[in-house]
C-alpha cells in the first residue's frame, strides 16, 4: 500500500486530546471531528467492497490494512462526515504502530479523556467500538 496518512504521524491521539480540550462545547468539538475527517485520505473506490466493509456500523465504513516495517498501516473511509472524523480519531491512536503497541493502547482511556462516547448516539458508539475491535483483531492476527 503506497498511501500516506497524517493520522498516526503528524496527527496523534495526544494532539486530538489537546485540541479537543480547548473547546468548551460539543458543537465545536463535533465541528473539529468533522474537520478531522476532511484530513482522512480518500480510499480508492475499488476497495469500497464487502471485503473491506465493517459490519456493525450505521454508516458504511471500509477498513484495509497492510504491514510496513513491522508496523500496521490502516486505510479507512466512510460515507458519513462525522464517521470519517471518528475514523481519524481512531487512526491517530493506531496507525503506524506495531501490533503490540495497538493491543496495549488503552482506547477507553483515550475516549474518556475527550468525553467522547456519551456524546455519540448508541449506534455511533457501537460503530466506534466495531472500528476499534477490527483494528485490534487485525493487530492480534499480525
Catalytic residue numbers, as ranges? 57
Identify which of 28, 58, 48, 52 has the alpha carbon closest to the alpha carbon of residue 127: 58
Q: What residues have CB less than 8 Å from 7, skipping those under 6 apart?
A: 39, 40, 88, 91, 92, 95
Cα(10)–Cα(62) distance, integer angstroms: 22
Cα(71)–Cα(124) distance, integer angstroms: 28
Strands 61-68 and 71-78: antiparallel
DSSP-based three-state secondary structure for 41: coil
DSSP-based three-state secondary structure for 38: helix
Amino acid at each position: 500500500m503506497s498511501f500516506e496518512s497524517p493520522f498516526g504521524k503528524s496527527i496523534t491521539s495526544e494532539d486530538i486530546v489537546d485540541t479537543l480540550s480547548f473547546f468548551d462545547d460539543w458543537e465545536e468539538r463535533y465541528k473539529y471531528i468533522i474537520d478531522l475527517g476532511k484530513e482522512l485520505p480518500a480510499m480508492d473506490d475499488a476497495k469500497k467492497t464487502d471485503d473491506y466493509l465493517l459490519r456493525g456500523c450505521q454508516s458504511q465504513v471500509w477498513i484495509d490494512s497492510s504491514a510496513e516495517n513491522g508496523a500496521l498501516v490502516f486505510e479507512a473511509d466512510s460515507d458519513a462526515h462525522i464517521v470519517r472524523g471518528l475514523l481519524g480519531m481512531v487512526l491517530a491512536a493506531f496507525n503506524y504502530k506495531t501490533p503490540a503497541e495497538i493491543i496495549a493502547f488503552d482506547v477507553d482511556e483515550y475516549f474518556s479523556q475527550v468525553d467522547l462516547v456519551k456524546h455519540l448516539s448508541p449506534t455511533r458508539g457501537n460503530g466506534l467500538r466495531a472500528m476499534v475491535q477490527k483494528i485490534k483483531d487485525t493487530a492480534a492476527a499480525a
